[in-house]
Structure 1
Amino acid sequence: MGRMTTSESTSPHGPRMSFAHAAPAVYKAMIQLDAAARQGLEPSLTELVKIRASQINHCAFCIDMHIKDARAAGESEERIYLLNAWEEAAGVYTEKEQAALALTEAVTVLPEGVSDEVYDRAAKHFEEQELAQLIALIFTINAWNRIGVTTRKVPGSYKPTAG
């Protein structure tokens, strides 16, 4: 078993480790990957994708973080609250956002695969380079979710930076 630091809780729901401290090179590479994946994508779209993937993966820390970032970027409360049921609230999101959310769900729940219908729907709204960036964004937030869930990163402490 790994050694716990003084900032970590022994609670079954407390953090297990500080991933950034334990694997700094990997953490730094993830930060760089995250920045690269966001390039060329609308900030509002990136936060919707990150929130939705984090909801599916049950990553409380990432849900908290990306909702705070979305609010700081001016996202409406309605669109944040309805994101978990975006298909039923489709009129709240653009067709492009709906295509991105469908792709997010398919890539996040990968054992079900990414159907031609879902891929083609996204390809209709995103140029190839932008679609590649979207795919990168989705697999990057999924990696962050897996880090957050596995290490039990505790939500609530994240503060968005003034932008």
Structure 2
Amino acid sequence: MSARTTVLDDGVRSALQAVSAAAARGLGDPALAELVQIRASQLNHCAFCLDMHLGIARKHGVSERQLDLLGAWEEAGEVFDERERAALELTEAVTVLTEGFVPREVYERAARHFDAARLAHLIALITAVNGWNRLMVARRIPPGSAEW
């Protein structure tokens, strides 16, 4: 076991980290990747992931204004550009799946802003952060905890 106390099998943790990193790399926009992960974490009430991704977002130059208004991005006017809005809308659709699927118009709006590869990576990133959120929330891992 590493110096960090962990109860999550190294293989599982490493696999999830690898998927998350590959998806973010493939998206090619670290700031957008953080906005997406923060929004999913807000929806899933994952304090651990919010704490972590807010810090990373700041390091990637995401503005405090965007971070402050992310929970109300639909009403935030020009704070988020069309591409960011499409990614955030897709994030909500994939995270919540209220209709049991992602609405066609949401997918098509995102597809107008991302080529096929980047769109696939965006969806993979959303899926990965949702996995992390569910893991951390279900296990009640608090923000800043080293025990995960």
Is the TM-score greater than 0.5?
A: yes
Task: Specify the code of the residue in structure 2 equivalent to 1:37.
Answer: A
Which has the bigger relative contact order, CA under 8 A and spacing at least 6? Answer: 2
Distance 1:39 1:107, change over 3 A: same
Q: Deviation digits for residues 59-103 of structure 1, max 9, x if unmatched?
A: 001011111111122211110010000000031011000000000
Which residue number corresponds to residue 78 of structure 1?
Answer: 65
Structure 1 ranges of 4+ moved more than 6 A: none
Distance 1:64 1:35 in 2: 18
Q: Deviation digits for residues 83-125 of structure 1, max 9, x if unmatched?
A: 0000000310110000000000000002422111100000000
Determine what percentage of the aligned residue pairs are the same residue: 55
Q: CA deviation at 1:40?
A: 2.8
Bigger Rg, which one: 1
Give the TM-score, by structure 2 length.
0.89
- Where structure 1 has 5 or more consecutive residues not aligned to the other structure, the ranges are 1-6, 8-17, 159-163
Question: Does 1:149 pair with 2:109?
Answer: no
Distance 2:110 2:142 in 1: 33
Q: How does 1:123-162 map to 2 (within 5 A)?
A: 123-156=111-144
Distance 1:111 1:99 in 2: 17
Question: Does 1:68 pair with 2:35?
Answer: no
3-state SS of paired residue (2:38): helix
Question: Does 1:39 pair with 2:39?
Answer: no
Task: Specify the code of the residue in structure 2 equivalent to 1:106.
Answer: A
Which residue number corresponds to residue 28 of structure 1?
Answer: 14
Distance 2:57 2:24 in 1: 14
Task: Specify the code of the residue in structure 1 equivalent to 2:140.
Answer: R
Q: CA deviation at 1:24?
A: 1.8
CA RMSD of aligned residues (A): 1.6
Q: How does 1:97-108 map to 2 (within 5 A)?
A: 97-108=84-95
Q: Deviation digits for residues 138-157 of structure 1, max 9, x if unmatched?
A: 00000000111011111135
Q: Deviation digits for residues 20-65 of structure 1, max 9, x if unmatched?
A: 5332211111111111111232001000000000000000010111
Whichever structure has more helix as a proportion of its residues is 2
Distance 2:76 2:116 in 1: 27
The answer to whether the 8 Å contact 1:59/1:149 transfers is yes
Matched residue count: 141
